[in-house]
Structure 1
Amino acid sequence: MSRRFRDEEEKLRALKDELQEEEDKMKLMTEKIFSPLIWRRYQNGIKIKDLQENRFYEVIEMILKYYLPEDVLCRNTKIGKDKVSQQCFADRLFFKLKDRASVIAVDEKNDNCLAGVLVLNPVQKCDYGRVYSRAMLVDGNSYKSITEFMNHINRKVDIFEEFQCEIYLRYYLLCVKPEYRHRALGMQLMMVGLDIARHLKIPVVTGVFNNYRLQQIARRIGIDQVLYEYNYNKWSDKNHELIFCNPGAGNYTCNIQAGLVPAPPEPEPTPVKGFEVGGGVTRADKKKAKAKNDAKKKTK
């Protein structure tokens, strides 16, 4: 083999290595871009992160299992016994998840088991009312009943007009598995919703909150303007029979609530060694200690 041929072979090998290195860099960059953003992590092992498409069906299955039997609207319209309505609900939910604004809570100590989900839906004024937003057919008696009620509620308020905005973030659905409840996980998910609104530069958040607990959580995080309130005992079917005859204790109204997205909280000051807030050594303490040491030296 000639020296010239060997040189060309080495150059080719170096070029291949360089191309492979660039490809690896691009792959790593792509993974970073499309990897889920982690919003919060807690000491109990719960992590809140972006909902990725590979978990859409798992999320929908969890919502069908735990949300439908307990939600005020779903329970009173008996959607759990209406398979057609359930399928239509699941199809509409899948469509909402494609907005890629939703977040999930997972348990890192339990093999990243799904613990809860917050479904969020950015709504732009330029898209509002277009044909595509009404293209999905509503099927099943139970889901038709829910949709009729929700349409009646939503028509009462124009968020764009109310806040003079071009876009808002809608809290669409919150579901937490029973074994992860009573840990304030629902509130933490709702608060992450505000982080997402800030991240997307959306000035207003809103939602139709149909039970007292959600209404209270919404108020606590700043979604405190009640724009419309509807009493369940006023809603009846064509035969004038009450549909929401069992909304549950304390659940008297269905509210449209909204609020401006607050500025992010100021980060806590980083404690400097010797100057920790609420403890440690202060400058005054150091001066006293120095004066004491100087006095001891003089006595010696």
Structure 2
Amino acid sequence: MEWTRPEQPVIPQTWYTFKAKDVDSDRLITYRVEDLTEDRFDDVIQHYMENFLDDEPLCQSKKVSEDELSLAEIRGFWRWCLNKRMTIACYKKGSREIVGAYLLHVKGSKKLLDAKIRGEKLKDIVATNEYMTDQYDVQKQYDVEYYLTAYGLAINQRYRGREIATEMLKVRVPLCRAFGIKVTATNFTALASQLAAAKVGFRTDLEVTYDDFAKMGPHYFYPGIKSKSLKLMSLKIE
């Protein structure tokens, strides 16, 4: 059964604030993490085009940005995710510039491959991710109907190196508590994101190296990938 966000709390909510360095100085300023509003959907899709596709290890390796069909389908997927109204964005105080965005989704039983993906590059990436959740069934392991997952955290390149991604990961806790969700879990594809998740308290439930994926056949081969492994990591919400 598909989960739907309740009408309360209303959008937008500010879920978390933190201090980090400004973009052009060492001065500490306040950043806020809040619900993404519908008027920023197009801006966030452009943000992911510029700050995710050529940086995220699987998309980078498969060169999704160079494949017209996969690119069109991933943009369509992003918009689908935005319409679920769980995506959050990070802004600095007094600004509406998108510092970071996080595609969050409350997952039930439906698989992404049910959407009949046609782009071969994107299909390979989805199959890789779903292999992980097939091997480690989060709902079964934690005895929950739903859990909060994510489909990509993208930080504006100008703001990197300030641990903003780590701070944005923390917002999953108040979000889960607000909606009565007991677990959050995600496939983390890059070493940096895995380290950030561990720092926040996520545990590793399953790890598969990209070398081992390559042994499974060409669809699971990621040429030139710099990361060592894919980790399914989870955090139980107390």
The structure 1 residue matched to 2:107, chosen from 123, 126, 130, is 123
Q: Does 1:258 align with 2:237?
A: no
Structure 2 length as normaliser, TM-score?
0.85
Rounded to whole Å, the distance in 2 between the matches of 1:148 and 1:232 is: 14
Do the aligned partners of residues 50 and 63 (structure 1) sit closer, same or farther apart at CA in structure 2, a change above 3 Å counting? same
Gaps of 5+ in 2: 1-7, 20-28
2:170 pairs with one of 191, 203, 213: 191
Over residues 105-160 of structure 1, what are the superposed CA-to-partner deviations in whole Å (9 max), with x where a residue is unaligned? 01334x41111011111123xxx138xx6552312221122122222222111111
2:146–2:181 CA contact under 8 A, matched in 1: yes
Runs of 4+ in structure 1 off by over 6 angstroms are none
How many residue pairs get matched?
222
> Deviation string for 1:28-54 (max 9, x for gaps)?
xxxx97441112334514221111111
Alignment of 1:1-300 (within 5 A): 34-42=10-18, 44-109=29-94, 111-124=95-108, 128-129=109-110, 134-224=113-203, 226-236=204-214, 243-248=221-226, 251-262=227-238
Matched position secondary structure for 1:183:
coil
Partner Cα separation in structure 1 for residue 181 and residue 32 of structure 2: 24
Give the whole-Å Cα distance in 1 for the aligned partners of 2:219 and 2:166: 35
RMSD: 2.3
| Alpha-carbon separation, structure 1, partners of 2:198 and 2:67 | 34
Classify the secondary structure of the residue corresponding to 2:55.
coil
Give the conservation status (yes or no) of the 8 Å contact 1:228–1:256: yes
Distance 1:116 1:129 in 2: 27
TM-score, reference length from structure 1: 0.68
Task: Kindly indicate whether the alpha-carbon contact (under 8 Å) linking 1:222 and 1:260 is maintained by their aligned counterparts in 2.
Answer: no
Residues 52 and 237 of structure 1: CA distance in aligned 2, closer, same or farther (over 3 Å) = farther
Hey, what's the Cα distance between the residues in 2 that align with 1:140 and 1:116? 27
* Whole-Å separation in 2 of the counterparts to 1:62 and 1:129: 27
Partner SS for 1:46: strand
Q: Percent identity at matched positions?
A: 18
Q: Which has the higher strand share?
A: 2
C-alpha deviation, 1:215, in angstroms: 1.0
The verdict on how the C-alpha distance between 1:85 and 1:240 changes in structure 2, with shifts beyond 3 A counting, is: closer
Deviation at 1:188, TM superposition (A): 1.1
Provide structure 1 residue ranges, at least 5 long, that are not aligned to the other structure. 1-31, 263-300
